[in-house]
Chain A
């Protein structure tokens, strides 16, 4: 009896140790797994955004090379007021870019994805060709495109250069930049939407075909509702990033694009890249806060709208 008790105690001890060891290993694995992303989140999201918020109320001392709180904490927001004329033009440009990139671009991409999904003629070839720009470096693609519209198009069509900072009318510069942005993002969108369409159960499509649904009805009633959550995610992300979109202007013109064609995203980036750009960081932080305030309502509304389809 005593032996059984001792044996039982020994077994429990071993089991406890095993459990403890097992638990420790799991915990260690979990910590290792989560430490890096959490640290990254803490530093590059929480830390950066917190610093950015503080910076909106600071000024920069070029001699001591540090940021400080001056007497006027709202000085950067007042500067936004002083520059409101130019900023509104950039805001308008950002909204136009967002509209075309998000809505027009998405409509074309979804239709084209459906074409590829239905394995129509040359669908795979188009998919490959459209995706090439997404594989190549952005600077390289922009250079090729700029060379094409500045050197080939004028010779071929006896026109002016289409992307020259001086020669090209500003509205043409902007239209070409928007076109390029939609075109360059097209491949990624098509890949996403065809991927989403491939997830639709073949039996659903087959049932629709047996019911005699035309390709349009099949697209409208079966395919589109199935990929709406994907489209919704894309559109919501588009609103949230509307003020970050540079329309590739930095690739075309460096930091010198004309103010009339600038978007908020480009303006913020090019100002921060300018020599002595630190002096503008507080202003850019304040501008970033204002843009967040503007973007937050449409983002939440759009998110709420598309959440219905996810249910």
Chain B
């Protein structure tokens, strides 16, 4: 009896361990009888799974009458959260479709963990209601080159874009008069806002165009009562170097920025300094790429990004405050509430609004905001937030010919992809492939953006209904995407592919030898050591690589 009991206990324990193993578990549990079932797992992060539930229901409806296997009609899609985006490699991928981030594409491909979905990517989307278009046609060339570099096949599709930078509270800017008018004066009248960097009425109106403008803005905010210019998550300090990368990209432009991954052609470098002004020269890739890549650390965009951080953001300790990241998001949302300490901007990613909504920050603030009328739209839709455009280096702005405007360049490198597990076969594989196709129609990607305020890393048009349903912030993100060049850190260059781990942002971006030691977060360095200059940190980048 004891033996039987101990065996039973062991079996139960083993099953418990298997069931609790993140994305593991038995896929057959809870399947809908009479239909072909698939399970979709998505990373439990800022994107959430509501959008996927919506898409799954729409997919089930569209293919309710189609049979994919004998004796079954229709499809059933079950959506689950998957803990630990970067841990899936360790596990048996027994869900059918995955949406994740921090995805190491070639590790998965080489271990045969992902199914070949070339057919999904390259054939027409007619079957899912979008004739004449393919997923491949919606992909940026960097993705096409990188994803097909091994054998010409696709094994994953890019998921969402992660832009990072300053997000400002439009309501607070209007209340307190932080917009710029055409004469460069501050105003709260939104009808008098300047036309911004792009010179036309758009999402960047009334906002700082140059580093000097931004300096004036933070000085003004800092001088006001009960408000701090910037808040950031004390446990998300890494966001600073991702924002820095955006500022760097914006100076370099897409073509020059891509040289950090394709290693070809000629690019600008800083050859020295005259006072604090960098002397700009040029460098051309030769045959010794291993040696040449170091020169990329001298790109002037890096220096100017560091200068912006050091002299403007860190220029005064009262420019910024921090709270634990969820508290920071909630405090930022509460900025317009009378009596609450305000924060004009938050340093965060494009997912912040959806993330804050998922853990109830908007609901929480709605109870203390007496300006809010609960009988109308939900609180999130009544609040106005938007991305701050990246200001231009003053010299660049001054050198622009009259009438010429600057197109913003953004960096998106969160390695978020979706794929089908190689364990999925037969009818489930057919349905999983069809579901991926369905999700990549413009209609579904538009619905994704409307639901999450995030953008997919593909080119697509928003539907009118979705645009009308979006929050102010979501519209600003979409407008920003549509009016910017976007750099995705991928290429098919052989040296890059074989050494891609060395070029992830955490290593390649901002690790510097400065002050006798090594640092990898310029914001922390500048706050901790006031003597370190932007030029010091910039020189150390080359030393460290």
- Residue positions of A touching B, CB distance < 8 A: 60-66, 83, 85-86, 89, 150, 164-167, 169-170, 254, 256, 258-260, 274-280
B322 pairs with A167, CB closer than 8 A: yes
18 A-B pairs besides A63-B494, A165-B237, A276-B501 with CB distance below 8 A are: A62-B501, A63-B149, A63-B497, A64-B498, A65-B107, A85-B516, A164-B234, A164-B322, A166-B322, A166-B528, A258-B519, A258-B521, A258-B528, A259-B518, A260-B517, A275-B415, A276-B500, A278-B107
Q: Verify if B137 is at the interface (C-beta below 8 Å from A).
A: no
Which residues does chain B contribute within 8 Å of A61, judged by CB atoms?
A: 498
B528 pairs with A64, CB closer than 8 A: no
Contact pick for B102, options A86, A165, A256, A275, CB 8 Å: A275
A-B contact pairs, 18 of them (CB 8 A): A62-B106, A62-B497, A63-B498, A64-B106, A64-B110, A65-B106, A85-B518, A165-B234, A165-B524, A166-B524, A167-B527, A256-B237, A256-B521, A275-B86, A275-B506, A276-B500, A276-B502, A280-B501
Which residues does chain B contribute within 8 Å of A169, judged by CB atoms?
A: 528
Q: Verify if B504 is at the interface (C-beta below 8 Å from A).
A: yes
A83 pairs with B499, CB closer than 8 A: no
B524 pairs with A62, CB closer than 8 A: no
Query: How far, in Å, is B288 (CB) from chain A's closest CB?
Result: 14
Contact pick for A83, options B516, B518, B527, CB 8 Å: B518
Query: How far, in Å, is A170 (CB) from chain B's closest CB?
Result: 6
Known contacts A63-B150, A275-B102, A166 near B107 by CB under 8 Å: no
Q: Which 4 A-B pairs have the closest CB atoms?
A: A276-B501, A279-B501, A63-B497, A86-B518
Within 8 A of A (CB), among B511-545: 513, 516-521, 523-524, 527-528
Give bound CA distance, A256 to B505, whole Å.
Answer: 13
Query: How far, in Å, is A264 (CB) from chain B's closest CB?
Result: 14
Give bound CA distance, A280 to B106, whole Å.
Answer: 17
Which residues does chain B contribute within 8 Å of A258, judged by CB atoms?
A: 519, 521, 524, 528
Contact pick for A166, options B237, B507, B516, CB 8 Å: B237
- The 0/1 profile, CB within 8 Å of A marked 1, for residues 212-224 of chain B is 0000000000000
B498 pairs with A62, CB closer than 8 A: yes
Within 8 A of A (CB), among B75-127: 86, 102, 104, 106-107, 110-111
Give bound CA distance, A155 to B92, whole Å.
Answer: 48
Closest to B241 in A: A256
A274 pairs with B528, CB closer than 8 A: no
Q: Verify if B238 is at the interface (C-beta below 8 Å from A).
A: yes
Known contacts A166-B528, A275-B102, A276-B104, A259 near B501 by CB under 8 Å: no
A86 pairs with B106, CB closer than 8 A: no
Contact pick for A85, options B237, B238, B513, CB 8 Å: B513
Give bound CA distance, A86 to B110, whole Å.
Answer: 35
Which residues does chain B contribute within 8 Å of A65, judged by CB atoms?
A: 106-107, 110-111
Give bound CA distance, A66 to B498, whole Å.
Answer: 10
Give bound CA distance, A311 to B516, whole Å.
Answer: 49
Give bound CA distance, A42 to B520, whole Å.
Answer: 39
Which residues does chain B contribute within 8 Å of A166, judged by CB atoms?
A: 234, 237, 322, 523-524, 527-528
Closest to B527 in A: A166
Closest to B103 in A: A275
Within 8 A of A (CB), among B291-308: none
Query: How far, in Å, is A148 (CB) from chain B's closest CB?
Result: 13
Which residues does chain A contribute within 8 Å of B517, judged by CB atoms?
A: 85-86, 89, 259-260
Which residues does chain A contribute within 8 Å of B111, judged by CB atoms?
A: 65
Give bound CA distance, A86 to B513, whole Å.
Answer: 9
Give bound CA distance, A65 to B86, whole Å.
Answer: 16
Give bound CA distance, A10 to B240, whole Å.
Answer: 88
Give bound CA distance, A260 to B234, whole Å.
Answer: 19
Give bound CA distance, A275 to B297, whole Å.
Answer: 20
Closest to B523 in A: A166
Which residues does chain A contribute within 8 Å of B502, judged by CB atoms?
A: 62, 276, 279
Query: How far, in Å, is B518 (CB) from chain A's closest CB?
Result: 4
Which residues does chain B contribute within 8 Å of A62, judged by CB atoms?
A: 106, 497-502
Give bound CA distance, A109 to B501, whole Å.
Answer: 45
Query: How far, in Å, is A71 (CB) from chain B's closest CB?
Result: 12
Which residues does chain A contribute within 8 Å of B516, judged by CB atoms?
A: 85
Closest to B149 in A: A63
Give bound CA distance, A62 to B496, whole Å.
Answer: 9
Which residues does chain B contribute within 8 Å of A165, judged by CB atoms?
A: 234, 237, 524
